Structures are given as structure tokens and as C-alpha cells.
Structure 1
Amino acid sequence: MILRLLLATFVVCFGAVNSKKVEQVHLSLSGNPDEMVVTWLTQDPLPNVTPYVAFGLTKDDLRLTAKGVSTGWADQGKHGVMRYTHRATMQKLVPGQLYYYQVGSSAAMSDTFHFRQPDQSLPLRAAIFGDLSIYKGQQSIDQLIAAKKENQFDIIIHIGDLAYDLHDQNGSTGDDYMNAIEPFAAYVPYMVFAGNHEVDSNFNHIVNRFTMPKNGVYDNNLFWSFDYGFVHFVALNSEYYAEEMSKETQQQYKWLEQDLAQNTKKWTIVMFHRPWYCSSKKKKGCHDDQDILSRDGLKDVFPGLEELLNQHKVDLILYGHKHTYERMWPIYNQSPFKSADSGHIKNAPAPVYILTGGAGCHSHEDPSDHIIQDFSVKALGEYGYTFLTVYNSTHLSTDFVDTSDTTGKFLDPFVLEKN
């Protein structure tokens, strides 16, 4: 610990050794099926040089290039440490094709990574979770790295609370986390949005470290949507409500109305950080005012979301924040819709809810300490994530992956079917 503090002091005061070094490489989707975005970071600016990505079909022939853009930004800590984020978009990519790539500039280049451009005609496989850090989440990180090596998923979605916290120790916690996940995030699109731990300094780190699909309103990674095969994914910022940011809340709601009205996909999956329904130590379950404000709304100041999502027949809602896993029945207006088989629901009359906030949080919760609610189907206390598979226009499945070992254990198989 003393050595780490001394090193951190040296870096702040004198600059990191080889600080033009490329680090924290990660991929993301732009929303266009023939594109892949790559984002990376350097600790020093790159004056008089151009960041870029070089890519191609073999490691030894990276003949294609795309120019990057750079953003310098200051951490909110007392030292105001500067970092430099670089972004480039690879275009005209062929679905299913394996590509190799390097990022950097004439000052320094990264290792060579690879990815397979998503073939959206095939079933979609996604790892979805919230609340992950290195401190308690290394087993989940290790399992995700192992699963990536076995080609087990096409995208990863992190639904808030990254690193605990990205801005800690003048941002070095965020650097450590982003480097720790590079072994999967540089190979599979890693999609993120904000939880309560990203709020600090107007969402400074999540705005500047990542590159998510543009929404045409703020384009700052805090809410977005994209289509993938049969699915329309929507990520919302519940922290606008919790922080009582009424203007941003209303702008997001207007965007969401339009986004859902234009949606033509068979499945609609919505994600945000704070839960609307789950079991907890309270008799009413998770019913904190900050959490359910986005569900119910408040007069004309904070428009509630539940009615809108139900109106547009959203199929699945996932969130985190509470540090456990729980799958629930379809629910609307606090009432569950139960059927004969909780493991296979057909033509659900309301969204199915999944709490998946146990990937690697600092304070884990066990269902044995909770008052299990009437709408609850399955509650688990293991560390892990939700594995989503969308097979076609009529069937999708979810499962909970226990990450206590790198092989992964599946503990909650569930099928959602619709005509």
C-alpha cells in the first residue's frame, strides 16, 4: 500500500514513465451494423501527431486505417490530473469477419487485438451486469476473460457503478479498472451507462472515458439505444431522477418517447441502474424514493417511465444498484402477472424484471437477509452476471452465471416466448 501511494505521488508530481503509452483499449458499438468504435487513453497529450487505428484481416497486414479524435480532460481530484482519450471508428466492416487491429500514433502503438464483427443474423449472446470493481470483482473479470476466449458472447453491457469509483485516487482507480478489463473489452464491445457512482462532477469520467451511440440530445454516453438483430436495446440514466436534474430528465423522456415510437424490432430490452422492484430487508422491498421516482414520476417535473415502457410493450427490464441477483414475474403498477411456469413465460402482459447487481460490488447482499416479495421468482446470493441469448423473433433466454470459478455455473435458466 505504501509503495502504491509513493508511486501515485511520483506520477502526479513528475509524470508517468512512458506516459505516451497506449492503454485502456476497449471496443463499443456505434449503432451502425458495419462499424466498430475503439477508444483508448494516454496519460500525456499527442501534440503534432494524429491518433489512428490500423486494421485488417491478418495480424501482419493492417492496411486499413481510420483517423481518431482526441479529448483532453481533467480529473475532478485536487490535482486536476489530465488524461487524453482517443476515439476512432472502423467502417465498412463485414458481418462475421474476423479483424485484427492496433491503435495509437507515431508516438506509440498498442498490442495487436482482434474482434469478430457481429453477424446480426445469428443469435445474440450478451453478458449483462451492474456494480463491478477490481476489489471484489476480480473473479467476475477472470470469468469474463475466460468466456471471451471461448467465444461465449457478442457484447457486454455494464449497467452502472464501474470500478468503485472511476474517479478515486485522482482517477488511478479508473485507470486500473480499465486496464484490468482490457483482456475482454478490447475484443468484445463493452457498453456502459451511469449509475450513482458515476455522478460525481457531472458524470465526468463516464462522459470522457467511453464512446457510446449518439442520442442526438446530449451525446455524452449517459443514455442511448441501438438495434441488434431482433432486439432494440435502450439504456436510460436513472441518476437524472435521483439527482433531481429536471431539465435533463424531461429531455431524456422526450427522446425515449420518440425512440420507442420508431422502434420496429420484435424484442425491446430496457436497462437503467436503480431498481423499481426487488426484495430487500424492508417489508415493501426496494422502495427508496430516489429509486422509484423514475418509475412513478412527480407531477410535471419528473415524468414517470413505467407507463411509457408498458405502453410500448417492453419485454425485459434489467437494472443493478442492489448488490444481488433477483428475477421477477412480469410486473406493471406494482402487480405481478403469474402463470403456470415461472421458468418459461409466453406472451407476457408486462415487462419481466431482472436485478443483476452482483458482479463484483464492495458490499454484497444475500437473499437470506431479505424479505422475499410476492413478485419474486428467484433470488441468488452468488457473485455473477446475467447471460442473455436472443435466438429469433419468438424466443429469448436468460440465465445467471455464478463466477466463483472461471468455467461459470448457470443457476437460473429462464425462457421468454412471444408470438
Structure 2
Amino acid sequence: MILRLTFCLLAIAAATVCSKKVEQVHLSLSGRPDEMVVTWLTLDPLPNVTPYVAFGVTKNSLRLTAKGNTTGWADQGKKGKMRYTHRATMQNMVAGQLYYYQVGSSQEMSEIFHFRQPDQSQPLRAAIFGDLSIYKGQQSIDQLIAARKDNQFDLIIHIGDLAYDLHDQDGSTGDDYMNAIEPFAAYVPYMVFAGNHEVDSNFNHITNRFTMPRNGVYDNNLFWSFDYGFVHFIALNSEYYAEEMSKESQKQFKWLEQDLANNKKKWTIVMFHRPWYCSSKKKKGCHDDEDILSREGLTDKFPGLEELLNQHKVDLILYGHKHTYERMWPIFNKEPFKSSDPTHIKNAPAPVYILTGGAGCHSHEDPSDHIIQDFSVKALGEYGYTFLTVYNATHLSTDFVDTSETTGKFLDPFVLEKN
């Protein structure tokens, strides 16, 4: 123990970090309303000790505990650097209750964080975005941290392309990103799924760094669903199509068919990374083969998704990949359904589409460079994210939050209503 302490002190003096340090703490939902999952990472294994979370309703009395499990995994870089992801699930949580918690082991514990267990009888408030890194995305990270401190969110969903890239520099880019977002991800559930930048080495980093709801097929964080209040959320992996992974595409489709058939919620929101409809520099807009394959399909090997989602009356579809923001009319089979008021649509005959990939990427896009399509309602070039509010069984709203100021500026108010 004395030798270990000496080593850590020397490491700190050399401006490095003791590798048993608890870091990258973040929350996620399991799909059960009385649970909260916490995931964290150490750069060293924890031999002969058990990771755990200690939690309670007061900061000075963390009397409840839940044991964690550990996954050791190697980065795909030349060094094959090992990391150790620890996961624990807090159970029997009371809706609306404020909890304090810290994670770690007998080796070292984290600082004390807190969260409020979601009360799903109340309106849901969520930030949804894709394509965020520290490089050019710090203003969005800062605004999300400020908004979290102001209790503006119940949920944050990142729809692919994390950190640019999680695996860069032997994974240290991913470590830096996960530590940078800890001030919001350790306090509000942070849900993720894969974009094209997570494909490397069979989705190695997104599989091993996170803990998403289990789907019963692969259980590897790549596609999932959960209920929250009036909403059924579905996250799909569009990269199965772009990477021509036909077996996985078919299994995901079969799972989706069953998931939609079992869905009893009033609202259904579907998310994936690659866009089906949006404006771009091309006359046809978003029409790259690898992007629209999941929409149209190709024989039985790659079953198309649009008809299935429309058949089950999906209300809202969000995606990223293109580094900007654009809200579309309800669309099915390339045809928009327009009405008198683009800011308030009632009983939409098809899903409303929102491109929300402008949180903070390496190559931002501006609508002034795009050929605006007939189905487009609002296109914005500011950095930011989509703010979703689900009020009840009949009304939800979205808005675009410009993150150039930490207070946030709302630029695209929209209401979706149904009987």
C-alpha cells in the first residue's frame, strides 16, 4: 500500500493521473422505472476487490449499496491499451426522489454526485443531439452543463458520433471526452448509440464504455428501446446498413417488428444516426446510398425501415450525421404532408423528421450552402441541440437550442398534437 501511494504521488508530480482513479462516471436508464444504472472506468484492474455504488437520500448517509461488475477490454490501437469498465444498477428507487451516490471500490471512491430518479408522471424534458466532440463542441458541452445545473433536463440522448473519435490516440480522446461530459452525464441519464465514427473494430468503444437497455438480441448498446411516461423511445443502428452487415440488419428488423407490435405508449420516437431526408449541397438533398439504404432496403438482405415505422404510426424521427439542424414536414415515401401552420401540426399522417447533428463536430455545415428541399420547414446553422418536451398524451414540443450562450437561445419552437 505504501509503495502504491508513493507511485501515485510521483505520478501526480509528473502531471499524470494515478491509473486506479475513478473517472468517466455517467448514468443511464435500464428500461425499468425504479432503476438507475451507473457506469465508470479505471485504467487499472481491481484485483481481489469488488466495485460498487453507495447511495442514499442524504449526502452524509450513503447507506445503500449495489455491487458492480467489471469488463476488461483492449483498445484497438497499436498499444492495445487495457481499460476496465465497471457497471452497477441501483434498484427500488423512488420516483421523484433526490439521491446522492459515489462509485468505486476499497481502492478509491469517486466524489459524491446526485440525481433525481425520474418521475414519469411528470412532463419529460430531454436534450437530443448527434455529432459532438470537445473540439468545436465545448460551447455545447458548457451549455449542457449549465442547463443541467439549472435542472432543465430529465434525459440526454446522443444519437451517434461521439468525441471524434472515442478510439483516437489509443482511446485517450474518448477518455478526455467522457471526463469532459461527466458534469452532466453523472447527474442526468446519458443515452447513446452508434454513428459511423463508432464502427471501428466492431463498435469496440461504444460496446465497452456504455450500458444501454438490453434488447435480447445482442445486448451490446447498438440498438435498444425503453418507455418513459407517455413515450416509447427506439434507437436503431443505421451502421448495420452502411457497413453492409446483412445478418445484423435482419435481426434488428425482426426485433423492431416485435418491439413496435408490443408498444402501447401514446407517443413513439425513433432515432438513428444517418439521415433519410434533409437538404444538402445536392439537388436531391440527403440521398447518399449508404444513408438511404436503411430507409428503402434492398431485397431481403437489407429490409427497409420506413414502411414499417409509418405502419406503426411513429410520431417523430430524429437523426444526425449531417452537421446542422433542420426540421421537416411529416414525410412518407419522399412526399411531405404540408398544413397551414408549420409550427403546430395536429394528427400528422406520417412521422415528423428532425436532423439534429449540429451539437459540435469537426466540420460544421451552414444551410446557406444547401439547396433547401420542398419538405424542409426550418434550417439553422448555429451550434446546438434539440430540446424535447412531452407534456401528456396529446401534446409534445421540440425546439432548437443555440448554444453560443450558456443560457441557450431557442430558435425553432414546434408543437406536435394528436387526439
TM-score (norm. length: structure 1): 0.96
- Judge conservation of contact 1:268–1:315 (CA < 8 Å) in 2: yes
Q: Equivalent residue of 2:135, what SS?
A: helix
Contact kept, 8 Å, 1:16 with 1:43, in 2: the verdict is no
Partner residue in 2 for 1:219: 219
- Structure 1 distance, partners of 2:73, 2:300, is 35
* SS at 2:187 equivalent: coil
| 1:191 partner SS | strand
The amino acid of 1:277's aligned partner reads: Y
Matching residue's letter, 1:205: H
Partners in 2 of 1:260 and 1:15 — Cα distance? 51
Structure 1 residues 406 and 17, CA, compared in 2 at 3 Å: closer, same or farther? closer
Q: Is 2:326 aligned against 1:326?
A: yes
Task: Classify the secondary structure of the residue corresponding to 2:137.
Answer: helix
Residue number in structure 1 paired with 2:266: 266
Q: Distance in 2 between matches of 1:66 and 1:200?
A: 33
Distance (whole Å) between structure 1 residues aligned to residue 190 and residue 145 of structure 2: 13
CA separation in 1, counterparts of 2:320 and 2:207? 20
Q: CA deviation at 1:261?
A: 0.1
- Structure-to-structure mapping, 1:228-239, within 5 angstroms: 228-239=228-239
Shift in Å, 1:18: 1.4
| Change in 2 beyond 3 A, CA 1:31/1:366 | same
Offset of 1:17 from its aligned partner? Answer: 3.9
Q: 1:3 matched to which residue of 2?
A: none
What is the one-letter code of the residue matched to 2:161? Answer: D
Distance in 2, matches of 1:135 and 1:317, equals 27
- Mapped to 1, the partners of 2:74 and 2:318 lie a distance apart of 32
Indicate the SS of the match to 1:135.
coil
**Partner SS state of residue 109, structure 1:** coil
* Whole-angstrom CA distance in 2 between matches of 1:282 and 1:259: 35
The yes-or-no answer on 1:247 pairing with 2:247 is yes
Q: Provide the rounded CA distance (Å) in 1 between the counterparts of 2:270 and 2:24.
A: 27
Report deviation, 1:148: 0.2
Shift of 1:260: 0.2
Is 1:368 aligned to 2:361, yes or no? Answer: no
- Residues of 1 paired with 2:84 and 2:35: CA distance? 23
Alignment of 1:407 with 2:407, yes or no, is: yes
Shift of 1:16: 5.9
Residue 88 in structure 1 maps to residue 49 in structure 2: no
CA distance in 1: counterparts of 2:67 and 2:145, whole angstroms: 29
* Equivalent in the alignment of 1:61: 61
Say which SS state the counterpart of residue 385 (structure 2) adopts.
Answer: strand
Deviations 1:198-225 (A, max 9, x none): 0000000000000000000000000000
- State the match for 1:138 in structure 2: 138
With normalisation by structure 2, the TM-score equals: 0.96
Counterparts of 1:378-397 in structure 2, within 5 Å, are: 378-397=378-397
Could you report, residue by residue, the CA deviation over 1:378-400 in whole angstroms, capped at 9, with x for unpaired residues? 00000000000000000000000
CA displacement, residues 260-302 of structure 1 (integer Å, 9 cap, x when unaligned): 0000000000000000000000000010000000000001110
Q: Which amino acid aligns with 2:78?
A: K
Amino acid at match of 2:47: P
Q: Distance in 1 between matches of 2:405 and 2:389?
A: 21
Alignment pair present for 1:102 and 2:102:
yes
1:156 aligns with 2:156: yes
The aligned length equals 408
In structure 1, give the amino acid aligned to 2:110: S
Say if 2:418 is the partner of 1:418.
yes
1:33 paired residue number: 33
For 2:259, what is the secondary structure of its paired residue? helix
Q: Which amino acid aligns with 1:346?
A: K
SS of equivalent to 2:37: strand
Letter in 2 for 1:230: F
Preserved contact between residue 294 and residue 303 of structure 1 (Cα < 8 Å): yes
Q: Which moved more, 1:14-23 or 1:282-291?
A: 14-23
Give the gaps of 5 or more residues in structure 1.
1-9
Give the letter aligned to residue 311 of structure 2. Answer: Q
What is the letter of the counterpart of residue 343 of structure 2? G
Q: Which runs of 5+ in 2 are unaligned?
A: 1-9
Contact 1:236–1:270 (8 Å) recurs in 2: yes
Deviation at 1:228, TM superposition (A): 0.1
Partner of 1:178: 178
Q: Which residue of 1 aligns with 2:120?
A: 120
The percentage of aligned residue pairs carrying the same residue is 88
Partner of 2:304: 304
* Residue equivalent to 1:6: none
CA distance in 1, matches of 2:263, 2:270: 12
Q: Which residue of 2 aligns with 1:4?
A: none
Q: For residue 7 of structure 2, what is the aligned residue in structure 1?
A: none
SS class of match (1:307): helix
**Per-residue deviation at 1:15?**
12
> Contact 1:235–1:270 at 8 Å: present in 2 too?
yes
Show the counterpart of 1:351.
Answer: 351
Q: 1:325 to 1:17 in 2, by over 3 A?
A: closer
CA deviation digits over 1:356-393, x for unaligned, max 9? 00000100000000000000000000000000000000
Poorly superposed stretches of 4+, deviation over 6 Å: none
The 8 Å contact of residues 130 and 356 in structure 1, kept in 2 or not, is answered as yes
Q: Which residue of 1 aligns with 2:5?
A: none
Given that 1:140 and 1:359 are in contact with CA atoms closer than 8 Å, whether structure 2 keeps it comes out as: yes
Equivalent-residue separation in structure 2 for 1:59 and 1:98 (angstroms): 10
Aligned to 2:51: 51
Distance 1:23 1:383, change over 3 A: same
